[in-house]
Structure 1
Amino acid sequence: MNAHLRRAALATAAAVTAVSLAACGSAKEAGDKPEKPTAAKKGDALTIGLLLPENQTARYEKFDKPLIEQRITELTDGRGKVIYDNAKQDATLQSQQVDAMITNKVDALILDAVDSKAIAQSVRRAKEAGIPVVAFDRLAEGPIDAYTSFDNEEVGRVQGQALLDALGDRAKSGRIVMMNGSITDPNAALYKSGSHEVLDGKVRVGKEYDTKEWKPENANSNMEAAISALGKDEIIGVYSANDGMAGGIITALKAAGFDKLPPVTGQDAELAAVQRIVAGEQHSSVYKPYAGEAEAAAGMAVALARGEKVTGIAKETVDSPTTKGVPSVLVPVVPLTQGNIADTVVKDGVWTVAEICTAKYAAACARLGLK
């Protein structure tokens, strides 16, 4: 693991076990509810499968994969191994990857679903093969054994509040555009719900889109259509559910000739987004401490692979559409703006000042005191 990731892991790993997280939505206290054992008792020579959904978003390959691998190595005294694959946004391919994990007889599977509904049958096949499944980041349907993610409705509320703060007393002076995430991602619905909870009645929504596959190019096309329909003088802000789409949106805004870019939200604290925030092109993002989520996923997977309970890690439960009372860890999030870059992504070692403040952004960084 590189130094950045190691520092991030050290900075946030304790949060998973030391902080009592507030339940959200259908989450409730798990207490000491007994769980069905899913595997025979095993030692450290474990094989954990890891399936991530896509590589469009930087976080999966840069943060989640190495953080999970490192933590599993630590938990198994170096004897455990991870078998990894990425579905590249293809639900059918991911189903085949689950079958391959079953064939390889992994001891547990960490699964971030491309399509939370479509993956249910694959989860059932894994369960029938005696392989416990930890749903990672997205709440997969089917008989999952554990779940870890961020408080996703809170993510939406944080995004909505950031946009309201940026608009101030101009909140109803025009219309906003809402660029939600993919309908196949259950998190997108939670972001959408949380943002509407904050924004409804306080802004006027001119256009709203559910963006196919979270792709920046699709968000770009949607934004071009919104500008054409509403007129650029009417658009005062844009809710973007993540940073990748924010990049596509900002490209469309620039191409339309906005004299001053309206505030645009985001999520994931991607490097390009942090640089856009420094430059004043993107108003905000949401910083999600990936090390805490990875710590929880790895810990629950190793425990389940050994046939142990996860209630020592998961202090609450969440209901999926198909499974009630799933032991869960929900990690808190932080709004990211120009004012707290140094205290969040830099302090935690996610990005260095050198990485953020390249020649193009040096002057803007100097104005913000980033050094």
Structure 2
Amino acid sequence: MARRRGQRQLAWIGIGTAALLATACGANDTAGGSGGSGGDAANAKVAFLMPDTGSTRYELKDRPGFEKRLKELCPGCQPLYNNADGSADKQQQQFNSALAQGAKVIVLDPVDSKAAASLVNAAKSKGVKVIAYDRPIPDIPVDFYVSFDNEKIGKEIATSLIEKIKADGAVPAGSGILIVNGSPTDAAAGLIKKGVHSAADSSGLTVLAEYDTIEWKPENAQKFVSGQLSRFPGKIVGVIAANDGTAGGTIAAFKAAGVNPTPPVSGNDATVAGLQLIIAGDQYNTISKPSEIVGGAAAEVAVALLKGEKPETTGDLFGSPSKLYDPTLVTQDDLKAEIIDKKIQTPAELCTSEYAAACQKLGIS
């Protein structure tokens, strides 16, 4: 009889413990439910997956901006950072690893915008939120999209370059421009391309040739432009290049061919190398878009989603709520005001020995 009483007491203790555990789990589910897969939102893991190391911005600007703002808004949240080095397969592995580690939100700058649709589906099946970052994912709606306005970027760099070409004088018969786009797997590059054509197609200038730069690699842009210099000797009056990397490759092709001075070349991203080429007079323009701004914005959206809140939007893009920031065009005329005075870069970073004299001419010291 005593043995049966002991068994009954143990059973009641087990039932009570189970009830307490269920209550505790329920509380955690409520706290982290807005993150999509349970857990405590205040201590959630948030992945930040960048596409390549071809541009220095991801390590130097985007990641620090994201991690700084995430820590401010959610001190207990854990960032999971990875860079795919331009490989869609590697990015898929990193995405799957973030899911396996229990990430509640994944901020994804896709290597391949089309292939990324399957990653979004994988996240949705686990209730994990996805924020498309910089490069949109057109084939499937995501929870949010954060970027600078890429179509506007394309229009602004093209318009500025075309105005420069026309201001320099009449364009000889048979002459024209080249268009060097970004990667064909990058939907943001497609938006930039659309913006470029909105200006170029009505400019009256002839587009001699156009190229989609595989993986955004400067060496691929250089190879293309070198070929066009042989095809159209003395006929290229300007190049609309989609970013500073492709602009650098373009300028390298002109220099290797002995073209001096180089015709106007556009850019985008306001990298140190791009700004130095503008200071030297080899590149005509770029776009200042401090990527730590969108990095911080992505953190704000991630925390809002974790809390079950609706982030502020500027509209929809490809069926996804979006927030797009305005870019700023930069040429020699306003480089000091837009870059130095706003402390985006310092004179010490830009005015190395090779560029010191050119900096002085622009009043940068």
TM score, norm. by length of structure 2: 0.86
CA separation of 1:37/1:107 partners in 2, compared to 1, >3 Å: closer, same or farther? closer
Identity of aligned residues (%): 39
Query: How much does 1:80 deviate?
Result: 1.5
RMSD: 1.6
State the distance in 2 between where 1:148 and 1:344 align: 23
Structure number with higher relative contact order (C-alpha < 8 Å, ≥ 6 residues apart): 1
Superposed CA offset, 1:113-146 (max 9, x none): 0001101111111111111000000112434100
Structure whose CA Rg is larger: 2
CA separation of 1:370/1:136 partners in 2, compared to 1, >3 Å: closer, same or farther? same
Q: Which residue of 2 aligns with 1:303?
A: 304
Q: Which residue of 1 aligns with 2:246?
A: 245
CA separation of 1:194/1:315 partners in 2, compared to 1, >3 Å: closer, same or farther? closer
Is contact 2:64-2:292 (8 Å) kept?
no
Corresponding position: 1:318 with 2:337: no
Query: How much does 1:41 deviate?
Result: 8.6
Amino acid at match of 2:156: V
Amino acid at match of 2:226: E
Q: Which residue of 2 aligns with 1:102?
A: 99
State the distance in 1 between where 2:184 and 2:194 align: 13
Which of 341, 346, 359 is equivalent to 1:347?
A: 341
User: Which runs of no fewer than 5 residues in structure 2 stay unpaired?
Assistant: 1-32
Is contact 1:124-1:143 (8 Å) kept?
no
Corresponding position: 1:60 with 2:58: yes
Q: Which residue of 1 aligns with 2:146?
A: 148
TM score, norm. by length of structure 1: 0.85
Is contact 2:34-2:306 (8 Å) kept?
no
CA separation of 1:70/1:171 partners in 2, compared to 1, >3 Å: closer, same or farther? farther
Q: Which residue of 2 aligns with 1:23?
A: none
Superposed CA offset, 1:337-356 (max 9, x none): 11111222223322101111
Q: Which residue of 1 aligns with 2:223?
A: 221
State the distance in 2 between where 1:329 and 1:280 align: 34
State the distance in 1 between where 2:198 and 2:263 align: 21
Which of 358, 363, 366 is equivalent to 2:357?
A: 363
Number of equivalenced pairs: 327
Superposed CA offset, 1:5-28 (max 9, x none): xxxxxxxxxxxxxxxxxxxxxxxx
Amino acid at match of 2:281: G
Query: How much does 1:97 deviate?
Result: 1.0
CA separation of 1:171/1:42 partners in 2, compared to 1, >3 Å: closer, same or farther? farther
Is contact 2:35-2:41 (8 Å) kept?
no
Matches within 5 A, 1:9-48: 39=36, 42-48=40-46
Q: Which residue of 2 aligns with 1:286?
A: 287
SS at the partner of 2:43? coil
Is contact 2:65-2:293 (8 Å) kept?
no
Which of 120, 123, 141 is equivalent to 1:123?
A: 120
User: Which runs of no fewer than 5 residues in structure 1 stay unpaired?
Assistant: 1-35
